Structure 1
């Protein structure tokens, strides 16, 4: 099997409740890597539902997607 044929792992599919979210985020924050933290926040947001999170937070859904995507700018990537 070629790497290009493999499916990308999506952690959000395995995060089912608040306990899962908290443990997953705690693990990401423990490492302290801004890129990992950003990815974990994105996974939790996706698991919870980006539209609901946008509504609850007052932040546009598109802005959340941008901020939490791998194209966002965690502090370690700033020049």
Structure 2
């Protein structure tokens, strides 16, 4: 019997460029849960407690905001992204 370990994206998010590309691709998905899951993976890679403190939210609140199906406020998402040293940018779709 073949055994597999569960894939954890956080294990591969080890530099800023990879993280930025990961989030950019996730943001393109029409399902908002994909973007929340991507932010959560980045937060796990950086340390949830550290990210929560830097964003000025509690660790539990951070987990709750990034849970699939959550509807976090734009302000909360911005705080989390800033705490990760990231900002959103936009491009024209052709």
TM bucket (normalised to shorter chain) is 0.7 to 0.9
TM-score, normalised via structure 1 length = 0.77
2:78 matches 1:66: no
Structure 1 residue ranges (4+ consecutive) displaced by more than 4 angstroms after TM superposition: none
User: Counterpart of 1:7 in 2: which secondary structure?
Assistant: coil
Q: Deviations over 1:2-53 (max 9, x none)?
A: 7xx6422100000001111100000001223201111101101111111111
Report the aligned-residue RMSD.
2.0
TM-score, normalised via structure 2 length = 0.66
Instruction: Name stretches of at least 5 consecutive residues in structure 2 with no aligned partner.
Output: 73-94
> 1:74 Cα shift?
4.3
Task: Give the helix-richer structure, 1 or 2.
Answer: 1
Instruction: Name stretches of at least 5 consecutive residues in structure 1 with no aligned partner.
Output: none
2:50 matches 1:56: no
2:29 matches 1:31: yes
